[in-house]
Amino acid sequence: MIKLCMAVMLGGALGALARFGVAQWSMAHWPKLFPLPTLLVNLLGCLLIGVLYGLWLERPELSPVLRQLLVTGLLGAFTTFSTFSLDTLRLLENGEGLLALGYVLLSVCLGLLATWAGLSLTR
Protein backbone atom coordinates (compact mmCIF):
# COMPACT_ATOMS: atom_id res chain seq x y z
CA MET A 1 0.00 0.00 0.00
CA ILE A 2 2.86 2.39 0.77
CA LYS A 3 4.30 1.69 -2.68
CA LEU A 4 0.98 2.66 -4.33
CA CYS A 5 0.68 5.84 -2.25
CA MET A 6 4.22 6.88 -3.15
CA ALA A 7 3.52 6.22 -6.82
CA VAL A 8 0.37 8.36 -6.72
CA MET A 9 2.22 11.17 -4.91
CA LEU A 10 5.08 11.13 -7.41
CA GLY A 11 2.69 11.04 -10.35
CA GLY A 12 0.63 13.83 -8.81
CA ALA A 13 3.66 16.07 -8.43
CA LEU A 14 4.70 15.42 -12.03
CA GLY A 15 1.16 15.98 -13.31
CA ALA A 16 0.82 19.29 -11.47
CA LEU A 17 4.15 20.47 -12.86
CA ALA A 18 3.14 19.39 -16.36
CA ARG A 19 -0.16 21.26 -16.08
CA PHE A 20 1.70 24.38 -14.92
CA GLY A 21 4.16 24.01 -17.80
CA VAL A 22 1.41 23.69 -20.42
CA ALA A 23 -0.33 26.76 -18.98
CA GLN A 24 2.88 28.82 -19.01
CA TRP A 25 3.76 27.72 -22.53
CA SER A 26 0.33 28.44 -24.00
CA MET A 27 0.03 31.81 -22.26
CA ALA A 28 3.43 32.80 -23.64
CA HIS A 29 2.40 31.89 -27.19
CA TRP A 30 -1.30 32.81 -27.20
CA PRO A 31 -2.08 35.27 -24.42
CA LYS A 32 -5.70 36.21 -23.85
CA LEU A 33 -7.10 33.55 -26.17
CA PHE A 34 -10.05 31.92 -24.35
CA PRO A 35 -9.10 29.31 -21.72
CA LEU A 36 -6.66 27.60 -24.07
CA PRO A 37 -4.45 26.13 -21.32
CA THR A 38 -7.40 24.25 -19.85
CA LEU A 39 -8.52 23.05 -23.27
CA LEU A 40 -5.01 21.84 -24.15
CA VAL A 41 -4.59 20.04 -20.82
CA ASN A 42 -8.01 18.38 -21.10
CA LEU A 43 -7.46 17.21 -24.67
CA LEU A 44 -3.93 15.99 -24.02
CA GLY A 45 -5.08 14.23 -20.86
CA CYS A 46 -7.87 12.50 -22.79
CA LEU A 47 -5.42 11.34 -25.45
CA LEU A 48 -3.00 10.02 -22.83
CA ILE A 49 -5.62 8.21 -20.77
CA GLY A 50 -6.90 6.55 -23.95
CA VAL A 51 -3.39 5.36 -24.80
CA LEU A 52 -2.78 4.09 -21.26
CA TYR A 53 -6.16 2.38 -21.04
CA GLY A 54 -5.45 0.67 -24.35
CA LEU A 55 -2.05 -0.48 -23.09
CA TRP A 56 -3.54 -2.00 -19.97
CA LEU A 57 -6.29 -3.71 -21.94
CA GLU A 58 -3.71 -5.27 -24.26
CA ARG A 59 -1.11 -5.94 -21.57
CA PRO A 60 -2.87 -6.59 -18.25
CA GLU A 61 0.37 -7.89 -16.78
CA LEU A 62 1.77 -4.33 -16.69
CA SER A 63 2.49 -3.09 -13.20
CA PRO A 64 -0.50 -1.85 -11.19
CA VAL A 65 1.91 0.51 -9.40
CA LEU A 66 2.84 2.06 -12.76
CA ARG A 67 -0.85 2.37 -13.59
CA GLN A 68 -1.52 4.25 -10.35
CA LEU A 69 1.49 6.49 -10.95
CA LEU A 70 0.44 7.39 -14.49
CA VAL A 71 -3.37 7.36 -14.37
CA THR A 72 -4.31 8.29 -10.81
CA GLY A 73 -1.27 10.41 -10.00
CA LEU A 74 0.00 12.02 -13.20
CA LEU A 75 -3.23 12.37 -15.12
CA GLY A 76 -5.26 12.96 -11.95
CA ALA A 77 -3.17 16.03 -11.20
CA PHE A 78 -2.87 17.01 -14.86
CA THR A 79 -6.61 16.84 -15.54
CA THR A 80 -9.60 14.97 -14.16
CA PHE A 81 -11.45 15.58 -17.42
CA SER A 82 -9.61 12.62 -18.88
CA THR A 83 -11.05 10.34 -16.19
CA PHE A 84 -14.51 11.79 -16.77
CA SER A 85 -14.13 11.09 -20.49
CA LEU A 86 -12.93 7.52 -19.91
CA ASP A 87 -15.81 6.83 -17.49
CA THR A 88 -18.25 8.11 -20.10
CA LEU A 89 -16.63 6.04 -22.85
CA ARG A 90 -16.82 2.90 -20.71
CA LEU A 91 -20.55 3.47 -20.16
CA LEU A 92 -21.02 3.88 -23.92
CA GLU A 93 -18.97 0.75 -24.65
CA ASN A 94 -21.16 -1.19 -22.21
CA GLY A 95 -24.27 -0.15 -24.13
CA GLU A 96 -25.41 2.27 -21.44
CA GLY A 97 -25.89 5.30 -23.66
CA LEU A 98 -28.68 6.83 -21.60
CA LEU A 99 -26.66 6.49 -18.42
CA ALA A 100 -23.64 8.04 -20.19
CA LEU A 101 -25.75 10.97 -21.35
CA GLY A 102 -27.09 11.44 -17.83
CA TYR A 103 -23.58 11.30 -16.41
CA VAL A 104 -22.36 13.94 -18.86
CA LEU A 105 -25.31 16.24 -18.26
CA LEU A 106 -25.18 15.85 -14.48
CA SER A 107 -21.41 16.34 -14.36
CA VAL A 108 -21.42 19.48 -16.50
CA CYS A 109 -24.63 21.08 -15.20
CA LEU A 110 -24.11 20.25 -11.53
CA GLY A 111 -20.43 21.16 -11.84
CA LEU A 112 -21.36 24.60 -13.14
CA LEU A 113 -24.00 24.96 -10.42
CA ALA A 114 -21.54 23.93 -7.70
CA THR A 115 -18.94 26.38 -9.03
CA TRP A 116 -21.52 29.17 -9.04
CA ALA A 117 -22.63 28.22 -5.51
CA GLY A 118 -19.05 28.24 -4.26
CA LEU A 119 -18.41 31.61 -5.86
CA SER A 120 -21.69 32.97 -4.45
CA LEU A 121 -20.71 31.85 -0.95
CA THR A 122 -17.52 33.89 -1.11
CA ARG A 123 -19.12 37.06 -2.47
Per residue of the chain (123 residues), what is the pLDDT tens digit?
A: 999 999 999 999 999 999 999 989 988 988 777 778 888 898 898 899 989 989 998 999 999 999 999 999 999 999 888 889 989 999 999 999 999 999 999 999 998 998 899 888 988
pLDDT at 111: 87
pLDDT at 30: 84
Q: Is position 79 annotated in a ligand binding site? A: yes
Q: How far is CA 3 from the centre of its chain?
A: 22
pLDDT at 18: 96
Among positive and negative, which fits the CA dihedral 60, 62, 63, 64?
A: negative
pLDDT at 3: 95
Alpha-carbon distance of 1 to 3, in angstroms, equals: 5
pLDDT at 80: 80
Count the Cβ atoms, other than its own, within 10 Å of residue 103.
Answer: 16
- The SS3 call for residue 82 is helix
Q: Is position 102 annotated in a ligand binding site? A: no
> What is the DSSP secondary structure assignment for residue 32, as one 8-state letter?
T
| Domain that includes residue 48, residue range | 1-121
pLDDT at 17: 97
pLDDT at 36: 83
pLDDT at 6: 97
Alpha-carbon distance of 1 to 16, in angstroms, equals: 22
Alpha-carbon distance of 123 to 121, in angstroms, equals: 6
**What is the length of the chain?**
123
SS3 content of the chain, % helix, strand, coil (to 5): 85, 0, 15
Q: How many domains is the chain built from?
A: 1
Burial of 76 (0-12, 13-18, 19+ CB in 10 A): buried
